[in-house]
Amino acid sequence: MIKKILLVLLVLLVIIQFIRPAENHSDKLSANDITLHYSVPDTVLSILKTSCYDCHSNNTRYPWYNRVQPLAWWLNSHVTEGKRELNFSEFASYPVKKQVKKLKATAKEIKEGGMPLNSYLWIHIDAALDQGKKNILVYWADSLQRLIAQ
């Protein structure tokens, strides 16, 4: 009986390898990309691309384990949720009030260590934010939200 259950589980595991979520890739910059509408210094952009863009933009760099189900589904849910919360590729499409709110929330999450997620940092060690990078991002987000709110 146990052999039959294990065989069924193995067959199911093989079958689900063919059920893949769509990947989050874009070949071009969105017309609503934050960099096209607001000043994003190179240092800030570099940090955002390394630590934030995989979940908060229209272009995710996928790790090797994205080819294995159900891990790809788990990653897809993180990316979908991240983009729903904040998408830098679509930032200019948000109403001004929402842009200000998102920048305030971004600064708060970074200050409190809520972003990047610990589960993301397990594999993406380079995405960890030291205090200097946190300060750069918080200063930029605070400054930009004050500018937008004027």
Encode pLDDT of 33-72 as tens digits: 999 999 999 999 999 999 999 889 998 877 776 677 777 7
Q: How many angstroms separate the CA atoms of 144 and 129, rounded?
A: 20
55: amino acid identity, one letter: C
The DSSP letter of residue 67 is: G
* Residues contacting 135, CB < 8 A, separation 6+: none
What is the value of pTM for the model shown? 0.82
pLDDT at 51: 93
- Give the distance between the most distant pair of CA atoms in the chain: 70
Listed by start position, the domains of the chain span: 2-149
Percent of all residues in the chain with a pLDDT value above 70, rounded to a whole number:
93
